[in-house]
Structure 1
Amino acid sequence: MEQILADILAPTQIPYPVIFARFCGAILFGALIGIEREQRQRPAGLRTHILVSLASSIFAVIAVESVHMTSLSGPAVRIDPIRVVEAVTAGVAFLAAGLIVFSRGEVKGLTTGAGMWLAGAVGLSVGFGFWLIAAFAACASLAVLFILWRLEVALHWKPPESSEGGADERAAAPRDAAAVSKER
């Protein structure tokens, strides 16, 4: 039983309170990005962005900790933390690509996919301990998603009821169909 407890409470290079603070930071910053996507009624919203950010943070912490593991420090063992970054990038890109749809001659979901990819980068930043980078990235993403969307609406590049053809357009479609059927 002592061996199990020793394994569960294994010493880490990064103190556990710092690790948990990093995870909470990844949750917070991922939530900020996800809230904006949720307000636009996108398929990947609050929970998805939080999960991507938190998972990325966990991978980053594991990468840092694995470099310092005594069982992995022999001359024949090489650990490269950058491979974690590559794996997270590829995995999140795979998820984001699933959100991109080509429908009726238009590409939709690109911004949500990019937001997920950014949430992964934010999570990795927090996981590796780069809090200021993560905070700047989360704030910059909110500026891009919110402020620039408002600018696009003001310039009439996007309709005011939605960005990228969201739920408002889908809700308006049945009324248009009903109006057409009445005209016949």
Structure 2
Amino acid sequence: MVHELLGDNFYIILTRLLIALVLAGVIGFERELKNHSAGFRTHILVGVGSCLMMLLSLFGFEMFLEEYDNIRFDPARIPSYVISGIGFLGAGTIIVYGGTIRGLTTAASIWTVAGLGLVVGAGMYAAAVLTTVIILLSLIFLNNFERLFQRGKAPNVIQIVTLPDVQINEVVKVFDKFNIAIKKVEVSKVENNLRNIFIVMENNPELDRISLFDEIAHVDYVKNVTELT
């Protein structure tokens, strides 16, 4: 009875889902440490979900193939929809502000984790582990090289979450106090009666960011201050 309920391929399916969970979780944990919008749980859901779709494609229609001779098996059909459909999640992590785009790396990691899940679902464990190592090395170490090349060039974007009663000129005064040149200011309304203030400032490696954030946080009606990276 139990064997009929679980099926012939239960242990293969269990192993592949667990491997997908671990590999996707490792990549998601790295994103979580850097406070990105798509972190640990999102990457696990994407990796395990895509692995499940691959397993469905491989094992979900076996009884139909055995029962009907005219059914043709195409294991690539469902995975192809996973790869194309995962784009909506990646798009949700991208923030476009003026000429600055944030979240592209996280969007790419989500798309890659979906591919990892499919590869694990197909039983290609070595390829999945090798890809995970390459992704982690890219996310952790190459980011430092990018900062070296971009130092002094790329502008910084500060996101300030406030209540509607905030006086924006009081926030701007803090930047003036630190002699920071502001290139752009954008205000947008979000849920729960809050506002997002995006301030693009010129890059200054010598800037004391802790003191700056502390000063901004003490402005009336300011709820949160974050530097978008």
Per the shorter chain, which TM-score range?
A: 0.7 to 0.9
Segments of 5+ residues of structure 2 without an aligned counterpart are 161-167, 179-229
Secondary structure in structure 2 of the residue aligned to 1:43: coil
In structure 1, stretches of 5+ residues that fail to align are none
Residue 66 of structure 1 deviates from its aligned partner by 3.0
Q: Which has the higher helix share?
A: 1
Change in 2 beyond 3 A, CA 1:60/1:38: same
Tell me the equivalent position of 2:60.
66
Q: Hey, what does 1:132 align to over in structure 2?
A: 126
String of CA shifts for 1:52-85, please: whole Å, max 9, x gaps: 0000111111111035x12234233223111122
Contact kept in structure 2, 1:66 and 1:79, CA below 8 Å: no
Distance 1:23 1:158, change over 3 A: farther
The aligned amino acid for 1:157 is Q
- What is the CA distance between 1:165 and its match in structure 2? 6.4
1:170 — aligned with what? 159
Distance 2:144 2:122 in 1: 33
Aligned Cα root-mean-square deviation (Å)? 2.8
> 2:177 and 2:145 mapped to 1: Cα distance?
37
Matched position secondary structure for 2:87: helix
Residue deviations 1:125-169 (CA, integer Å, cap 9, x gap): 11111111110111110011001012222x24268xxxx968xx4
Structure 2 counterpart of 1:104: 98
Is the Cα–Cα contact under 8 Å of residues 46 and 110 in structure 2 kept in the other structure?
A: yes
Which structure has more relative contact order (CA 8 Å, sep 6+)? It is 1
2:57–2:78 contact (8 Å) kept in structure 1:
yes
Secondary structure of residue in 2 paired with 1:80? coil
Return the index of the structure with the highest Cα Rg: 2
Tell me what 1:86 maps to: 80
Q: 1:130 to 1:109 in 2, by over 3 A?
A: same
The yes-or-no answer on 1:46 pairing with 2:64 is no
In structure 2, what residue type is equivalent to 1:38? E
Scaled by the length of structure 2, the TM-score of the pair is 0.64
| 1:22 is aligned to 2:19 | no
- Equivalent pair of 2:64/2:71 in contact (CA under 8 Å): no
| In structure 2, distance between residues paired with 1:104 and 1:146 | 27
Aligned residue identity for 2:51 = S
Q: Does 1:179 align with 2:174?
A: yes
Asked whether the 8 Å contact 1:89–1:120 carries over to 2, the reply is yes
Q: Which runs of 4+ in 1 moved over 6 A?
A: none
Aligned partner (choices 5, 10, 27) of residue 8 of structure 1? 5
> Residue 165 and residue 126 in structure 1: after superposition, are their counterparts in 2 closer, same or farther (change >3 A)?
farther
